[in-house]
Structure 1
Amino acid sequence: MPLLKHLEPGENFPPSSEALAYPNGLLAAGGSLDSDTLLTAYRRGIFPWYESPQPVLWWTPDPRSLLFVDELHISRSLRKTLRKNEFRLRVDHRFRDVMHACAAPRDSQQGTWIEPEMIDAYSTLNAQGWAHSIEVWRDESLVGGLYGVAIGGVFFGESMFSREANASKVALVTLVSLLKKRGAQFIDCQIESEHLNSLGARNVSRVDFENRLQHTIHMAAVSDTWTPAASCGELI
């Protein structure tokens, strides 16, 4: 059985071929969550996912769930929600609040993997222009959203939340709209879920993902804008 690589701060990640089959994609432990380490990891398709008191755990699962921007599926009920124009759309207005909302306990899970250290680390990436939050507001209440990291032609989705029906889906449609304007190719959804599959995500092999990543990670954005549509109705 292969041994899990333990990283010292600043140490290079091992090749993805050394990732464990069980648990699927676990590549290394340790290291740090500084910006340089996180960006190096994402450029190689590696992401952190752990719960205290574990060390930082780094993953590259096989297969990989991707949502290509031209394959987003908007259901009839979601179109109806968008046409109602009941929500306001914002980007990076309350990044840390979005992360806290994503970290809140949910009926389907115990605990959270979004540790305070993760919130600090990604908030730093947000201040540096790498991480972004897509936010759905009803009046002055944040009711849904998501956050992730944008590098080249890829958006690495981390987590989403919803306090009202379809609010997280509205955030995803908003994200896809923005990514199309920027010339981005796909969203890395990391691990398959029925929720994301219903929106058009699909699995590809890790080799396929890494090949696509090599061709997109250094792409220059067609547009630098992260300004969302003025209304939900403009998204369809």
Structure 2
Amino acid sequence: MLTILNRHDRNQPFPDVDQALDEPNGLLAVGGCLSPRRLENAYRRGIFPWYGEGEPILWWSPDPRLVLAPDHIRISRSLRKSLRRGDFAFSFNRCFEPVLEACAEPRAYATGTWIVPEVRRAYLDFHRLGFAHSFESWQGDRLVGGLYGVAIGRVFFGESMFHRVSDASKAAFAYAVHCLKSWGFVLIDCQVYTDHLASLGAREIPRSEFIRLLDQYCGQPPSPEAWRCAAEFP
């Protein structure tokens, strides 16, 4: 039975993730709000919001969970050549809101978007508080790709990515992993399986193992260099 969250109680605990439904996989709770406190509580427990326009807030913790260890990223030969040619320039947190807006644009293969106005406002607030971050790829002055996610301790929770030219999102992802690794991050949450993320080296692990890793690493601070400067790339 799904837990109904109180919209006005930002401190209300989430149910144990073991109570999530098998079908649809990982659905755990309904309702509540997207306050920074509730979002932080959710991510620390391996839970994330995902819902569409006109729906209540839905909270998920799927099993298995798709994750990437920064050391295990796979970069294709063609992308490696593109990076060596300098086809892209990179940045982080340079333009979080434009990245968020680009990720919210409807995709050719889907109708609508889960990044509804309420979600955009929530993650902008989360960014201002230092939890949500973006990575960007550029060609000249044009933003051509990027991704955003949430950082807690030494874990980065990826949320969404976009591209406007070929390989731009993969390049931004490679840059993000490079930065996160240099800052001492040990785990990147990719949420659920996609062929695209699997091709980059992500793998599925049991939810119980994922929660154990969160318990271990969310309380550990990353390098003091995190979100200040990054090692040379590529």
Give yes or no for TM over 0.5: yes
Contact 1:149 1:155 in 2 (8 A): yes
Equivalent in the alignment of 2:104: 103
Q: Following TM superposition, by how much is the alpha carbon of 1:224 offset from its aligned partner in structure 2, in angstroms?
A: 3.0
Matched, 1:76 2:74: no
Q: What RMSD, in angstroms, separates the aligned Cα atoms of the two structures? A: 1.1
Q: Does 1:6 align with 2:4?
A: yes
> After the TM superposition, which of the residue ranges 199-208 and 80-89 deviates more from structure 2?
80-89
SS class of match (1:58): strand
Distance 1:224 1:27 in 2: 36
Tell me the SS of whatever aligns to 1:102. Answer: helix
Partner residue in 2 for 1:135:
136
**Does structure 2 conserve the Cα–Cα contact (< 8 Å) formed by 1:151 and 1:217?**
yes
Question: How far apart are residue 107 of structure 1 and its match?
Answer: 1.3
Q: Is the 8 A contact 2:182 2:231 kept in 1?
A: no
Q: Deviations over 1:183-204 (max 9, x none)?
A: 1101100000000000000000
Distance 1:157 1:127 in 2: 17
TM-score calculated relative to the size of structure 1: 0.95
Q: Which amino acid counterpart does residue 95 of structure 2 have in structure 1?
A: R
**CA–CA distance in 1 between the matches of 2:129 and 2:60?**
24
% identical equivalent positions: 48
Distance 2:76 2:175 in 1: 15
Distance 1:59 1:14, change over 3 A: same
Letter in 2 for 1:158: E
Q: Deviations over 1:178-224 (max 9, x none)?
A: 11111110110000000000000000000011111111111111233
User: How many corresponding residue pairs?
Assistant: 230
Give the Cα–Cα distance (whole angstroms) in 1 for the partners of residues 93 and 221 of structure 2: 21
Matched residue of 2:91: which SS?
Answer: strand
Q: Which amino acid is 1:28 matched to?
A: A
Q: 1:119 to 1:134 in 2, by over 3 A?
A: same
Give a deviation string over 1:48-71, Cα, whole Å, max 9, x none: 000121111000000000011010
Equivalent residues in 2 for 1:38-53, closer than 5 Å: 38-53=39-54
The one-letter amino acid paired with 2:37 is D
Aligned AA for 1:145?
Answer: G
2:149 pairs with 1:148 = yes
CA deviations over 1:107-164 (Å, ceiling 9, x no partner): 1111100011111111111111111000111111110000000011100000000111
* 3-state SS of 2:59 partner: strand
Q: Does 1:162 align with 2:176?
A: no
**What is the SS of the residue equivalent to 1:51?**
coil
Is the CA contact (8 Å cut-off) linking 1:89 and 1:229 kept in structure 2? Answer: no
Q: Distance in 1 between matches of 2:37 and 2:189?
A: 20
> What is the TM-score when the length of structure 2 is the normalising length?
0.95
For the 8 Å contact 2:67–2:188, the answer to whether it is kept is yes
CA–CA separation in structure 2 for the residues paired with 1:229 and 1:99: 25
Unaligned runs of 5+ in 1: none
Cα drift, residue 228 of structure 1: 4.2
Is the 2:182–2:230 Cα contact (8 Å) retained in structure 1? no
Give, as a single letter, the amino acid of the residue that structure 2 aligns with 1:8: N
Which residue number corresponds to residue 28 of structure 2?
27
Superposed structure 1 runs of 4+ greater than 4 Å apart = none
Quote the offset at 1:229 in angstroms.
5.1
Q: Secondary structure at the match of 2:137?
A: strand
Contact kept, 8 Å, 1:174 with 1:228, in 2: the verdict is: no
Q: Alpha-carbon deviations, 1:69-106, whole Å to 9, x = none?
A: 01000110110110111222111111111011111111
